[in-house]
């Protein structure tokens, strides 16, 4: 697992007594990679103990030696590297760590409980920075100086309060192995989508120190995941308002949103407080809408718990609610501070809810990344037989994580350039024109990913009738989607009902229908006002 560029896999920083060496060694053993401790390396280099060097040459001389060694190690060591307690306070070391992060590195701030760390620091001895006067008092003074700096420098935060070294090491390892997709939004704030086991542990790090109150918005079925989020938030010192909303589309109404606004007002939520949404796509849509509208916008973090929400609703800054007239017609484009796709939450998903998420995954393959289609083909049998109870730690977990990462990257590419859906972003709506009509006519009993699967077959039939693609690609849509357990036909309504709803679709322009179709895999195009007979014939073809 070593890095080809000779950069460390991770650099661990933290206060004296935080357990950097012990935890770093555990992580290196778990991952089968080498470990270096900066203090031990320095002692080898200077040929004496650090306390003796401090006494003879002073702190500045020691910091010069330390920063030179750190820079050298950052450029030529591919394991886990733990730094001494004060190392990140030196400006040249801060620069070297910033370069390392810019190169894709992970600087992990091991945040121990001050009491635990103080005791360990005193027990260990040999710490020149604690000499003279009350050691605990000196430790606390250093902590007050260093904590904000460490917090700013690190791009990964791991709280170890009450954890054994092995537990802390597992947390660190999960964060090292997670996949990160950076969403760079023009004219809005950038954010990261973190994908992996334990991604939820980033919650406090993303929310930061400004918020006092957090509105934790979730549905009942994800109670075990919201319990974990609440525990993490309380541990970090936030006041948590627990807000349970109805499941699925029933939660995305103005009545539900209004009830939450009233609660936020009664509980004194200010502009510096925040919202955390935990659940499927409907829950994260509503949480984002509440965050976008409360006091004209407060910070929020999405914690999607279904495959569909991880690959679709939680990324891209679309928030919204439904009205009697249609889905998502009231909403706002508002970017989250971060998205935490914790793959352990997928373990609680029923098979059918996992499979519907594959509809949006396949869509990203068809419009942009053919490798997604190859992965789906290769693993169709295992994906179709998905069993959450056996997912974590299985080879399928890595396949699913790669599919999530690739799908999020497709979405990120489209939304980065086009937050407000003027052009490129519309391609993400492949299959959605018919899908939204199906959902409405089925009173949302049909799941979104299933409706999108049928919508893509419809778009492929339409493209084939008009000469954009050949019959083989239509058949490929049908066979791939069916192999994953997704539907490819629909008989639940008349063409007249469907066409009326298509005219109300958000992509429609005036009275003209507008579709996204392919003219080849990975090449979506806009199709404006296609001939009425082709629109009807394509519909007839998906009825059986």
Q: Do residues 346 and 443 touch, judged by C-beta distance below 8 A? A: no
Q: Is 492 exposed, middle or buried (0-12, 13-18, 19+ CB in 10 A)?
A: middle
The bridge status of strand 10-13 relative to strand 80-82 is parallel
For residue 73, which of 91, 48, 99 has the smallest C-alpha distance? 99
Binding residues: 17-22, 39, 63, 85, 127, 146, 247-252, 281-285, 305-306, 318, 327, 360, 432, 448
Enter the DSSP assignment of 57: H
d(CA 79, CA 10): 7
Q: Read off the tokens for 353.
A: 């809810």
∠ Cα 440 441 444 (to 5°):
50
Q: Read off the tokens for 424.
A: 């490129």
Using alpha carbons, list the distances in angstroms from residue 15 to 23, 147, 417.
13, 8, 41
Q: Do residues 105 and 13 touch, judged by C-beta distance below 8 A? A: no
Binding residues for ATP: 17-22, 127
Binding residues for Zn(2+): 360, 432, 448
∠ Cα 357 363 366 (to 5°):
145
Binding residues for NAD(+): 247-252, 281-285, 305-306, 318, 327
Binding residues for Mg(2+): 21
Handedness of CA 278, 279, 284, 290 (dihedral sign): negative
d(CA 138, CA 86): 13
For residue 98, which of 145, 149, 59, 24 has the smallest C-alpha distance? 149
For residue 307, which of 375, 361, 250, 255 has the smallest C-alpha distance? 361
d(CA 472, CA 474): 5
d(CA 383, CA 400): 8
d(CA 423, CA 449): 23
* Alpha helices for 211-317 (secondary structure H): 223-235, 254-266, 281-293, 307-308
Binding residues for substrate: 39, 63, 85, 146
d(CA 22, CA 37): 10
* DSSP calls for 95-137: HHHHHHHHTT--EEEEE--HHHHHHHHHHH---GGG-SS-HHH
Q: Do residues 233 and 240 touch, judged by C-beta distance below 8 A? A: yes
* DSSP calls for 479-517: HHHHHTT------SS-HHHHHHHHHTSTT-BTTB-EEEE
Map tokens 């299933």 to a residue.
450
Enter the DSSP assignment of 378: H
Kind and range of the H or E run holding 462:
helix 448-465
């Amino acid at each position: 697992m070593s890095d080809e560029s000779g950069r460390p896999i991770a650099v661990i920083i933290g206060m004296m007594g935080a357990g950097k060496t012990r935890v770093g060694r555990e992580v290196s053993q778990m991952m089968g990679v080498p470990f270096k401790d900066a203090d031990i390396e320095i002692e080898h280099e200077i040929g004496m103990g650090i306390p003796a060097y401090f006494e003879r040459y002073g702190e500045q001389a020691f910091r010069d030696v330390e920063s030179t060694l750190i820079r050298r190690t950052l450029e030529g060591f591919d394991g886990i590297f733990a730094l001494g307690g004060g190392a990140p306070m030196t400006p040249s070391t801060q620069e070297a760590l910033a370069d390392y992060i810019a190169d894709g590195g992970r600087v992990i701030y091991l945040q121990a409980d001050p009491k635990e760390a103080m005791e360990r620091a005193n027990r260990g001895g040999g710490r020149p920075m604690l000499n003279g006067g009350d050691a605990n008092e000196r430790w606390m003074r250093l902590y007050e100086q260093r904590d904000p700096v460490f917090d700013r420098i690190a791009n990964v935060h791991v709280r170890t309060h009450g954890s054994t070294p092995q537990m802390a090491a597992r947390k660190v390892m999960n964060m090292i192995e997670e996949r990160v997709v950076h969403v760079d939004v023009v004219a809005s704030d950038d954010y990261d989508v973190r994908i992996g086991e334990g991604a939820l542990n980033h919650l406090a790090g993303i929310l930061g120190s400004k918020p006092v109150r957090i509105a934790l918005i979730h549905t009942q079925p994800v109670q075990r995941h919201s319990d974990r989020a609440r525990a993490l938030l309380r541990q970090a010192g936030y006041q948590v308002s627990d807000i349970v909303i109805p499941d699925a589309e029933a939660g995305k109404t103005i009545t539900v949103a209004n009830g939450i606004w009233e609660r936020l007002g009664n509980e004194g939520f200010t502009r510096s407080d925040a919202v955390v949404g935990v659940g499927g796509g409907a829950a994260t849509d509503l949480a984002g809408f509440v965050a976008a509208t409360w006091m004209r916008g407060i910070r929020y973090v999405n914690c999607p718990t279904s495959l569909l929400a991880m690959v679709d609703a939680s990324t891209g800054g679309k928030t919204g609610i439904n009205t009697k007239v249609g889905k998502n017609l009231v909403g706002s484009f508002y970017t989250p501070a971060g998205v935490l796709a914790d793959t352990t939450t997928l373990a609680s998903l029923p098979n059918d809810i996992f499979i519907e998420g594959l509809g949006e995954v396949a869509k990203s393959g068809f419009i942009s990344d053919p490798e997604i289609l190859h992965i789906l083909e290769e693993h169709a049998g295992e994906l179709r037989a998905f069993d959450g109870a056996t997912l974590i730690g299985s080879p399928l977990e890595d396949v699913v994580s790669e599919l999530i990462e690739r799908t999020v990257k497709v979405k990120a590419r489209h939304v980065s350039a086009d937050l407000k859906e003027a052009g490129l972003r519309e391609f993400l709506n492949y299959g959605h024109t018919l899908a939204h009509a199906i959902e409405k006519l089925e009173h949302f009993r049909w799941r979104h990913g299933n409706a999108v699967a049928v919508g893509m077959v419809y778009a492929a039939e339409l493209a084939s009738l008009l000469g954009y693609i050949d019959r083989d690609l239509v058949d490929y849509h049908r066979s791939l989607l069916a192999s994953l357990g997704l539907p490819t036909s629909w008989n639940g309504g008349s063409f007249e009902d469907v066409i009326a709803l298509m005219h109300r679709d958000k992509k429609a322009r005036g009275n003209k229908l507008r579709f996204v179709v392919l003219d080849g895999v990975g090449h979506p195009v806009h199709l404006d006002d296609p001939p009425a007979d082709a629109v009807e014939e394509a519909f007839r073809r998906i009825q059986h």
